[in-house]
Amino acid sequence: MTSLTTLALTDPVADIDRIFRAQKAACSPAHPPAYAERMDRLDLLEGMLRAHWTSMVDALVEDFGHRSRDQILSADIVPPLLHLRHVKRHLKQWMKPRRRSSGVLGLTGVRSRLVYEPLGVIGVMSPFNAPVSLALDPAIEALAAGNSVMIKPSESTPRLTALLRRLTAEVFDERTLAVVEGDARVSAHFAALPWDTFVFTGGTEVGRRVLAAAAPHLTPVILELGGKCPAFVLPDADIDAVGAKIAQGRLGNGGQVCLAVDYALVPRAALEPFLDAVLRKNAADFPTLHGNPEVSAMIDQRSYDRVTALVDEARAKGFRVVRPDLYADEPPTSVTRQLPLTIVVDPDESLRLHRTEVFGPVLSVHTYDTLDEAIGIVDAKDKPLGLYVFGHDRRAIDTVVRRTSSGGVSVNDLALHALSDSMGFGGVGPSGMGRYKGGEVGFAAFSNPKSVVYQSRLMARLSANAVPPWTGDRQRNAVLRLVGLKNPARNGG
């Protein structure tokens, strides 16, 4: 284990470089970790999480100022524990070589296998909104695949990051797993190292910089970026139930969730009932605002100022802005950084709110008359990480799924596709690239599926004359027949 005295290093960049070199030196294709060693690493990680989860919750509450402990438990502690359970249950099977078809060569006895080997050293840069699960989930799969891992959590959660660093150093050899700290300058250096694979979860603009930093080393990158996630409310949907569901999803963690509904598409005739349903659910769940421990604060002053500026711009340009009446005596204040639910009706592209991911408790509502119109609104924006459809008309649901593109779709609920143990999780285009957090999908993402082909005795004899110099037409004709071509020499060619 790392000596705790090393945690007091004054140069975080030098610390990162030292650990990176140590992890690289410890990785050898000739000696990949065996199943028992990988399981031991996963057991250590699970033990650390179970023993110290309350301290992690406390640290996150301090970092946010106000955040529900139950929400932290459900978003940051439970997911990696469930993930660990699934990975440990199936790891032995995933590590076995996989048979693959040899095609026509199989007729000669040739055998083909995929052998999954570790990639090497994996870098993980996680965001502030779910810093435990979004750091540990990729680390779990990377460790299961036999890699070493270094994690750089967000500088916006310094207490949680310091705790994770200390606990990891107490439990793990830093050549296997390490957590590092630092500001934006350190993050830029971290992203630019020659990782064997790099995982970044965060905003699209930072994702572009991460991809640029990885390019000189041709580092493979998995990007989970978020985006403006839409919710289609179909004409036959239960407006009260859907409004309540979307309100819950938008207010979770103060809207600071990559899969939160950014905007809803609502039939024009259902607008007022939908607004009423959202506001009623908000009032029932959060009867007070400032000082309410259940209302998550914006993570920092910059985030608070950014979200309030988006709303101020919409109001200044004359768009309809709706807030709960019960907060009339509690205007937003940077003292608590707790913002009320705010709804902006039919914003257009002149607003930054329309163009950028909000990442706050602001919900846009677009009204529509036809489903084609609603689909056109979504298709005019960047492809989102998640897309939601509420209703019961199977044909309409299938139309939305077929005619839109997103990282994943959940029907009649929020973020269900992100909980799958078999499909993997990720975005498309501006909302990300690559998939992990899907059990076997994640294991494969952090492995090299090495192709191994075993020649047969018959193939050895057949292949002796299958390459130039040709000894006659027989071999050439046999090859041409495989793909349905004729020998031009036999046709006067």
Rounded-to-integer distance, Cα 448 and Cα 350, Å: 46
Q: Taking the CA of residue 441 as centre, how many other CA atoms within 13 Å lie in the half-sphere pointing to its CB?
A: 17
Would residue 224 show up in a list of annotated catalytic residues for this protein?
A: yes
Q: Which of 224, 229, 357, 440 is catalytic?
A: 224
CB 141 within 8 A of CB 119: no
Name the maximum alpha-carbon separation found in the chain. Answer: 94
At 344, the amino acid letter reads V
Rounded-to-integer distance, Cα 197 and Cα 85, Å: 24
Those residues whose C-beta lies under 8 Å from the C-beta of residue 92, and which sit 6 or more positions away, are: 35
- Tally Cβ neighbours within 10 Å of residue 315: 12
At 309, the amino acid letter reads A
Question: What does each C-alpha distance from 474 to 467, 478, 486 come to in angstroms?
Answer: 12, 6, 12
Phi first, then psi, for residue 11 (nearest 5°) are: -110, 100
Name the packing angle between helices 371-379 and 394-403 (round to 10°): 20
Question: What does each C-alpha distance from 160 to 70, 295, 314, 338 come to in angstroms?
Answer: 17, 19, 35, 20
Q: Which tokens go with 207?
A: 């994702």
Beta strands in 226-336 (DSSP E): 229-233, 261-267, 320-322
CB 476 within 8 A of CB 487: yes
Rounded-to-integer distance, Cα 361 and Cα 340, Å: 7
Output b/e per residue, 50-77; b: 16+ Cβ within 10 A. eebbeebbbbbbebbbbbbeebbeebbb
Residues 52/54/57/61 CA torsion (nearest 10 deg): -130
Alpha helices by DSSP H, listed for 237-297, are 239-251, 271-285
Rounded-to-integer distance, Cα 70 and Cα 48, Å: 20
Q: Which of 27, 258, 357, 440 is catalytic?
A: 258
Would residue 37 show up in a list of annotated catalytic residues for this protein?
A: no
Rounded-to-integer distance, Cα 426 and Cα 257, Å: 14
Rounded-to-integer distance, Cα 64 and Cα 72, Å: 11
- Tally Cβ neighbours within 10 Å of residue 83: 24
Could you give the residue numbers annotated as active site?
Answer: 224, 258
